[in-house]
Amino acid sequence: MAGGVRVQEVRCRGCANCIKTCPTEAMRVFTGCVHIISDLCIDCGECIRKCREKAIILNEDEWELLRSQKKLVLIADPCFYVQIGSYESPSLVKEALESDGMEDVLEYEAMAFDVAAYAIARSIESEKVERLPLISTYCPAVIRLIQINFPELTGRLVPVESPLESSVALWRDATERKDDITLIAPCPAKMTLVRNPVGRELSTIAYTVSVRRVVHDILAGSPKVSGEVLHKTNDRWLKWSITGGESRHVASFSHRPLRTVAVSGLRNTMDLLTELELGRLGGVDYVECRACDLGCIGGVGTHESRFLSRLRIDDMKMDWSISEEEMARIISWYEKGIWQLEQAIEPKQRLPLSSDLSEAMAKLKDMNAIYAELPHIDCGSCGRPSCRAMAEDIVRGKGEMTDCIFKLRERILDLSKEISNLSGRVPHAFGS
């Protein structure tokens, strides 16, 4: 199953620096190369950040091939529009793309984000107090993290589709066009949104490339723009690319004050979800989590410093007031249901030890016994992220006890003692 992360085996040295950064223990080092367990990978991109050899990279589609197509229709994550300092507004970025023979769906995207924020506000207000807070579904990495590590929280995920998917549905409905759409994504999680979506069978988007790749292409071409705002759209949806931006947008549609918590970064996200799982977030209406530091502007596939991007967004003057005309259009699209997830998001069971319950229980007992004999220091020298992961691999038949360097030393010591004892014995001479 193709995800947003790919390993270049020729460049991997098997150093195991990456395996301990994975929050779901989806990485192993065997035969001198790292391998990814796709069923456990959440495509957060932390392994890409950690790899010194650049052996782990984004699994994006070939940009040059896409550019060669006669018609190239793009949809971009909000953070894309704040990546180039010389194009200070989304309208100018759109003009730069159009001057280079490309087309984006900017105006429909702005509307889709409004509809999503409106739908989230309605979901919060209609939910029972004991079922709050609801959790954002905008970050695919967070969704998958919850499915694997916090399965009890899946019921709190707000049933609202990613506005990136909704944008395409809205565009197709309004224009009746069926062109393939290419997503400009800041991270592997958004790329997986296209290849292996959660909450729907198939994505409405066909291809995906990184923000960095497209920005480099724009900068290399230096397209001329007029400097005039030719496509007037609201800019409030750009706030979704930074921590707290989504919550602010949702609050603008709420009929009552909302208490929201917004965090970014995997560690903070996992801490917050743990607090929520333990029932320590009473009185909170909505939780917004982003796997990347500072939000989507911190994705591994972006071009510019996340700090500069944050400054640029903070300097933008956002109009949070919704006109009557805008509200009428938002409600119209809301009533059409483009914002709804096609499927409920279910917990994702970790790889079972066996399909047979009695056999699985026996293997679990064996795993605990093996784990008890291991040193419990999680050094990673065996190519696994933890001693427990190694015990599990051994039970699955994918490892030996001597894969642990400490158990190997013990075995070597035992063998040396045995050899020493044997060498001290003098065999009886034949015929004596």
- For position 232, what pLDDT does the model report? 63
Specify the higher pLDDT residue, 428 or 9. 9
The answer to whether the CB of 237 falls within 8 A of the CB of 78 is yes
Question: Quick one: which of 41, 28, 52, 55 has its CA closest to 2?
Answer: 41
- For position 229, what pLDDT does the model report? 54
The percent of the chain in helix, strand and coil, each rounded to the nearest 5, is 45, 10, 45
What is the number of residues in the chain? Answer: 432
Residue 29 backbone phi and psi in degrees, to 5 = -115, 110
Read off the pLDDT of each residue in 354-379 and give the average, rounded to a whole number: 89
What's the whole-model pTM score? 0.89
Q: Which fold has domain 5-58?
A: Alpha-Beta Plaits (3.30.70)
Give bridge partners of residue 261 from the DSSP assignment. Answer: 287
| pLDDT bracket for residue 183 (50, 70, 90) | very high
Domain with CATH 3.30.70.20 in the chain: 5-58
Q: Which fold has domain 357-423?
A: 3-methyladenine DNA Glycosylase II; Chain A, domain 3 (1.10.15)
Domain with CATH 1.10.15.40 in the chain: 357-423
Helix (H) or strand (E) holding 5: strand 5-7
Number of helices (H) and strands (E) in the chain: give both, helices first.
Answer: 15, 11
Spatial distance between the Cα atoms of 97 and 230, rounded to a whole number of angstroms: 13
Render pLDDT for 281-330 as a digit per residue (tens, 0 to 9).
989 999 999 999 999 999 999 999 999 999 989 888 888 888 899 899 99
3-state secondary structure of 185: strand
Read off the pLDDT of each residue in 105-116 and give the average, rounded to a whole number: 93
Task: Read off the tokens for 328.
Answer: 């009428």
Pairing of strands 5-7, 56-58: antiparallel
Spatial distance between the Cα atoms of 246 and 117, rounded to a whole number of angstroms: 7
Query: What value, to the nearest 5°, has the Cα angle with vertex 274 and ends 387 and 148?
Result: 60
